[in-house]
Chain A
Amino acid sequence: MKTGKRRIVQEWAYHLSVWRLVIDWTVALYLVVPAAVIGGWHYWQFVEGQMSHWFSVLPPERAVFLWIAVIHSGTFRWLVMDADLLFHRRFDEPWEALQKTGIRYSLFLSVTAVLSAAAVIVPALTVYAGEPLYAVLLFLPAVLVLRMTGQLVQQKIDIRFERWRRTAVAIFCRAGLTVPILAAVFFGSYGAALLFLTFLPVLWWLLKSRRKEAWAFPQDCQREAEQRMKYSSFLLQLSGFHTKQKKEPRRKPLLLFTQSGSLFRDMNQELRLFEWLLKRWLRSRAHVFLYLQLTVVFSIALAAAPGWVKWVLLPVCSLIVVHTTYQVLGEAKNHPFFQLICRDASSLPVRPFRRAVGLITTPAVFLFGFITGAVVFQPLAGLLLGAAAALLLYLFYTSSLLA
């Protein structure tokens, strides 16, 4: 078997092995079989023009938005691996054979995606909207060409731009691919034919250009590695594994302290530790999101809780936020670099940790107090209660809790 084909087979064999491993098929069959039977019956009714009432109230023309979803999905597959540097990458013949298999495989995936969408769109437009079949079918090659063009354009953006520029250019180009399909829908079958004829040479040029971009080999390998995991990664993530590879690391801090700026003019050991804790917390998206999630959820809970339950929830929610933040900051001590530099963490002063936790959690606790006071009494009382709760907690935490 040729290398490309063998890689496709291995990829699907891997997916199958993960699905077998993670899914309990005995249980799943109780869900899959009834879903297939009921879904099949509904689809048959849909094709026959006897769809249930709830569907018939939806305008069938909206189905064309599925074309847009199809155009913007998937990526072009080149089936390359890092190890190709040793052989395939060095010789023209096997390298071109691998690329051609990748193109054929990508074409197959795109045809499958377009036909799957067509299975819904064609009956919706012909049976329910009264469009002629040939007019709808003419869109299929146009959508196929646009989809593959979009995938190659996205790859070119990914390898040429970084960070916010990449996002901005991608949004611009994606919008540029959405407008023609909407215009084609407006102009009907002639529009679709024109779209196909316009983008086919673009696709041809993009294919030739991408095949020559040897310098993008590492990025292609990384993308392929992610794609190889695609249909299994969500199951593996559910099982607790991190499958997403980290892209190129950021060179400098994004917004805060871009020049490693200090919060304090006169530094000492405690202030340095305090600043270190704050910087690490502020730059960790996961930590900040967790804090915001807890704050929002507890705020809603405090507003919605009946009567006296609010007064129980107020200290409980506050302590949960404080304790979680303390745990999050304390995790830094388990970092290998921390342990490399500091072999005796117990010798470190505790005050910076307390101050950092106190400072980070004060706004959340103030908000909890404010919401409770404002809902039970009035906004002014909320302000007073919020200030009292935050002050009480800050004093309590910085003075005794960790002593």
Chain B
Amino acid sequence: MLKLEKVSGGYTKSETIIHDVTFSVEPGEWVGLLGPNGAGKSTIMNVLLGQLAYIEGEVVLPAPEKLAFIPEHPLFFDDLTLHEHIEFLKAVTGLEGTAVDVETDRLLSLFRLSEKRHHYPASFSKGMQQKLMILLALLMRPDLYIIDEPFIGLDPKAMKDLLRELETRRQEGAGILMSTHVLDTAEKICGRFLLLNEGRLIAEGPLVDIQKKSGLDGSLLDCFEQLMEHGR
């Protein structure tokens, strides 16, 4: 579904940010992309979105319509209402039918956005804008979700609802790659982890493998700290 094979790259030719990164995300897998600030997580996101100027190595992605991206900073049109954003999504992706309308109403209700349907997202709070991004991605029903820091600005209920929805999609066969700093949540939901440091993949696998590599029996955070320390 998603595969990176010895990928190196950066924003300028002379400055490489990620080095020989190799990983994959299979259908029905929830993979956590972890690392300290400046480790190269956002650069990998940009590789996946085709926004990196210089890339070496092999990148295999699903077709554009089979991929949904939830960015860290919400994006929207200033002059369209929430409803019109959904209509735009339908116009661009060709989503049609009663089932889509029912799903739209359900998600709007779930994320408590029904009342704001005819309002401009520009007037929303950060959390509500983030909910709009999530709602649009869920409506697309893609094969692969790429999510960058999804929990910033979300209230606890919205966070729980988002996780439940994504888990359902994962069970239906979708792959999820999620970049986050919320390690205790990642530990509970992700089946596999990718630990990045200074642009290199320093550990990969389920929690058991990460624990084995770090030599600790503790939480993901403890192993993360140990591996970072060891890597210095």
Q: How far is the CA of A68 from the CA of B122 in the complex (A)?
A: 38
Q: List the B residue with the shortest CB-CB distance to A276.
A: B88
Is B88 a contact partner of A249 (Cβ separation < 8 A)? no
Q: How far is the CA of A234 from the CA of B91 in the complex (A)?
A: 41
Is B79 a contact partner of A272 (Cβ separation < 8 A)? no
- Residue in B71, B80, B120 whose beta carbon sits within 8 Å of that of A276 in the complex: B80
Residue B87 is within 8 A (CB to CB) of chain A in the complex: yes
Is A284 a contact partner of B79 (Cβ separation < 8 A)? yes
Is B122 a contact partner of A272 (Cβ separation < 8 A)? no
Is B81 a contact partner of A253 (Cβ separation < 8 A)? yes
Q: How far is the CA of A249 from the CA of B123 in the complex (A)?
A: 5
Q: How far is the CA of A272 from the CA of B87 in the complex (A)?
A: 7
Using A249-B123, A276-B84, A276-B88 as known contacts, say yes or no to A269 and B79 having CB atoms under 8 A apart: no
Chain B positions within 8 Å of A250 at CB level: 120, 122-123
Residue B52 is within 8 A (CB to CB) of chain A in the complex: no
Q: How far is the CA of A254 from the CA of B92 in the complex (A)?
A: 26
Residue B164 is within 8 A (CB to CB) of chain A in the complex: no
Is A258 a contact partner of B118 (Cβ separation < 8 A)? yes
Is B69 a contact partner of A251 (Cβ separation < 8 A)? no
Q: In A262-299, which residues have CB < 8 Å from any B CB?
A: 262, 267-269, 272-273, 275-276, 279-280, 283-284
Is B79 a contact partner of A280 (Cβ separation < 8 A)? yes
Is B94 a contact partner of A251 (Cβ separation < 8 A)? no
CB 8 Å contact bits of A68-86 with B (1 = contact, 0 = none):
0000000000000000000
Chain B positions within 8 Å of A337 at CB level: 75-77, 85
29 contacts between A and B (CB under 8 A): A249-B78, A249-B122, A251-B123, A252-B81, A252-B120, A260-B81, A260-B83, A260-B84, A260-B117, A262-B87, A267-B87, A269-B90, A276-B80, A276-B87, A279-B84, A280-B77, A280-B79, A283-B79, A336-B75, A337-B77, A340-B75, A341-B89, A341-B92, A342-B64, A342-B92, A342-B93, A343-B50, A343-B64, A343-B67
For the A-B complex with A272-B90, A279-B79, A344-B64 known, give 7 more contacts whose Cβ atoms are closer than 8 Å: A249-B122, A252-B118, A272-B87, A275-B87, A276-B80, A279-B84, A344-B65
> Which residues of A pack against B, CB within 8 Å?
248-253, 258-260, 262, 267-269, 272-273, 275-276, 279-280, 283-284, 335-338, 340-344, 348
